[in-house]
Amino acid sequence: MPKITFIEFDGTAHEVDVPAGGSVMEAAVSNNVPGIDADCGGACACATCHVFVNGAWMDKVGERGDMEQSMLDFAENVRPTSRLSCQIVLTDELDGLVVDMPEAQH
Amino acid sequence: MSQAAAIDQQRVTGTHDAEAWRDPWSLPLESLDPARAILFKENVHEEYFRRLRQEDPVHYTADSEFGAYWSITKYNDIVAVDSNHKVFSSHKNIVVGDAPDEFYSPMFIAQDPPIHDVQRRAAQPAVAPTQLADLEALIRQRVCTILDDLPVGEEFNWVDRVSIELTTQMLATLFDFPFEDRHLLPYWSDVATATPSTGRSDVTFEERNKVLQECLNYFGQLWHQRKNEPRKFDFISLLAHDPETKDMLDNPMEFLGNLILLIVGGNDTTRNSISGGVIQLNRAPEQWEKLKANPELVPNMVSEIIRYQTPLAHMRRTALEDIEFQGKQIKKGDRVVMWYISGNRDDEVIDEADKFKIDRENARRHVSFGFGIHRCMGNRVAEMQLRILWEEILNRFDAIEVVGEPERVLSNFVLGYTHLPVILHAK
């Protein structure tokens, strides 16, 4: 069961254990972690599940997809470490993953 | 019903019953044409979409005043089409009806990448979160002035005094438009959206064009002023200074098109959500009591209002290639209409979708802003106006009583109200 740490903008950390196979977004939403809206429910179509992947994990989470890049092109505050969390699928390799959340998704 | 319409009725539905269109369950399935503006004016459209979602969710209308078109009626299908811009193009038109070529105004909502992307990016900073944070105090001040000016205990039209007034002021700010002329903005917006393409056969493109030329001239002058001043964060200054859009005035129809987009986008959508919220709370008094007892529900309610009202009933795409979609063969060039108003009532995705519930879970999960690269750029502006408005209403009034039937707009695109008679009761 990979463990993920979500860090809110104000520094509050939330650690959740989730089964592999779901997305980072789903892990947040199903554990009531504040700071992820996911308005489109995970369709890579709204850019409200935006997270910043902690530097050490960047090469483990994989690359942005085409549609994800298109959506990030219109999002706010995008950094090189930005990903849409609905597009990061959890595997055992991502056990210990840390992501930071932006100030607001909306 | 006029004779021409009655003949049309018979041809389309196979019945002489002039009122048969009111009950889609009584008509042959293949004859259903949900794009007729009268359905929305008379508020019978919901039954059309209920039947289509159940029996023919990807539905072909072979013959209509707009030509042949597909209707996409289920939530998940709408998300799939909306986010597939490579197959389902927004160029040249995002409403079901096509305008004659000589009145074509390019606008970035009706463009595909790359043009869409560069123009949207140029305009977007006007509605960035940091900009809006700066505007919050100004909006609250205006909301308070508008609400404090309203008569208490006496009937008035909420649409004029609040819905139009508040959104007009917001729009004037986003354009840094001369405040004393701000009434021109909803005027131009309403002229822009009332066309044969959305079911208004009583207006002509020629008349519309004459009025919109005035709009073009006025904004042309603002453009010249702003171009020669340092860059600011209003729409005109942003477009005049961005390298990708600074020459847009050389193509007046494209400048006009993008102006119309930004005016309409920020105008009757929010206007009708403001009116819609009053209507829904009136119809569900237990929701109003819940709101008064739990004012922290305002942000959640705002999302539910936007879902329930669905200010824009549809968005249209054009297929760039043949594609099989949910078992149907969509052909290259076909019109494909996503009915947001239907997606927002899809109870396979939204629990008890027909109910207005201010404490609904996942209230933000609705189709009203669209999905994909064209998703509404002004969504935070809309939400912010609604939130501040309801916060201040709760500070002042015990009830907003609706005292007559609201009058609806005749359109298959704009879902809204022209008249909403109310009486205010003070706290």
A45 with B371: Cβ contact below 8 A = yes
User: What structural domains and CATH numbers belong to chain A?
Assistant: 3-95 (3.10.20.30)
- Would you say residue B275 has pLDDT above 90? yes
Q: What is the pLDDT of residue B122?
A: 95
A71 with B380: Cβ contact below 8 A = no
From the list A38, A45, A67, the residue facing B79 with the nearest CB is A45
B314-360 confidence digits (pLDDT tens): 999 999 999 999 999 999 999 999 999 999 999 999 999 999 999 99
In this prediction, the answer to ipTM > 0.90 reads yes
Topology of B3-426 in CATH?
Answer: Cytochrome p450 (1.10.630)
Residue of B nearest to A44 (CA): B372
Token representation of residue B190? 């309403």
Q: What is the pLDDT of residue B2?
A: 54
Where does the pLDDT of residue B197 fall: very low under 50, low under 70, confident under 90, or very high at 90 and above?
A: confident
From the list B120, B124, B371, the residue facing A46 with the nearest CB is B371
**Residue B141 burial (CB count, 10 A):** 11
Determine contact: B372 vs chain A, CB below 8 A. Answer: yes
Where does the pLDDT of residue B16 fall: very low under 50, low under 70, confident under 90, or very high at 90 and above?
A: low
Q: What is the pLDDT of residue B251?
A: 93
Determine contact: A45 vs chain B, CB below 8 A. Answer: yes
Token representation of residue B30? 């293949």
Find the range with the poorest average confidence among A80-89, B5-14, B184-193: B5-14
Collapsing DSSP to helix, strand or coil, A50 comes out as strand
Model pTM score: 0.94
Please provide the distance, in angstroms rounded to a whole number, between the alpha carbons at the two ends of chain B. Answer: 46
Residue of B nearest to A106 (CA): B380
- Would you say residue B9 has pLDDT above 60? no
Collapsing DSSP to helix, strand or coil, B137 comes out as helix
Residue of B nearest to A72 (CA): B373
Q: What is the pLDDT of residue B3?
A: 55
3-state secondary structure chain B: CCHHHHHHHHHHHCCCCCCHHHCHHHCCHHHCCCCCHHHHHCCCHHHHHHHHHHHCCEEEECCCCCCCEEEECCHHHHHHHHCCCCCEECCCCCCCCCCCHHHCCCCHHHCCCCHHHHHHHHHHHHHCHHHHHHHHHHHHHHHHHHHHCCCCCCCEEHHHHHHHHHHHHHHHHHHCCCHHHCCHHHHHHHHHHCCHHHCCCCCCHHHHHHHHHHHHHHHHHHHHHHHCCCCCCCHHHHHHHCCCCCCHHHCHHHHHHHHHHHHHHCCHHHHHHHHHHHHHHHHCHHHHHHHHHCHHHHHHHHHHHHHHHCCECEEEEEECCCEEECCEEECCCCEEEEEHHHHCCCCCCCCCCCCCCCCCCCCCCCCCCCCCCCCCCCHHHHHHHHHHHHHHHHHHEEEEEECCCCEECCCCCECCEEECEEEEEEC
B28-81 confidence digits (pLDDT tens): 999 999 999 999 999 999 999 999 999 999 999 999 999 999 999 999 999 999
Q: Are the beta carbons of B316 and B335 closer than 8 angstroms?
A: yes
A106 with B379: Cβ contact below 8 A = yes
Buried b (16+ CB within 10 A) or exposed e, A70-96: bbbebebebeeebbbbbbbebeeebee
- CB < 8 Å to A47, chain B: 375
Determine contact: B355 vs chain A, CB below 8 A. Answer: no
Determine contact: B74 vs chain A, CB below 8 A. Answer: no
Residue of B nearest to A43 (CA): B79
Token representation of residue B132? 């809006």
A41 with B124: Cβ contact below 8 A = no
Q: Determine the distance in angstroms separating the CA of B236 from the nearest CA of chain A, rounded to an integer.
A: 19
> Which of B81, B147, B80 is closest to B316 using CA atoms?
B81
Q: Where are the domains of chain B?
A: 3-426
A85 Cβ contact partners less than 8 Å away, ≥ 6 residues apart: A23, A24, A25, A28, A36, A49, A50, A51, A99
B86 Cβ contact partners less than 8 Å away, ≥ 6 residues apart: B320
Q: What is the pLDDT of residue B106?
A: 93
From the list A37, A44, A76, the residue facing B364 with the nearest CB is A37
Token representation of residue B55? 């029996």
Q: Is the dihedral of CA B96, B97, B102, B105 positive or negative?
A: negative
Place of tokens 């209308």: B61
Q: Determine the Cα–Cα distance for residues B92 and B101; give it in Å rounded to an integer.
A: 10
Determine contact: A70 vs chain B, CB below 8 A. Answer: yes
Phi and psi for B325 in degrees, rounded to 5? -135, 115
Q: Determine the distance in angstroms separating the CA of A37 from the nearest CA of chain B, rounded to an integer.
A: 8
Token representation of residue B289? 């009591």
Token representation of residue A78? 């995008």
**Residue B23 burial (CB count, 10 A):** 13
Q: Determine the distance in angstroms separating the CA of A100 from the nearest CA of chain B, rounded to an integer.
A: 19
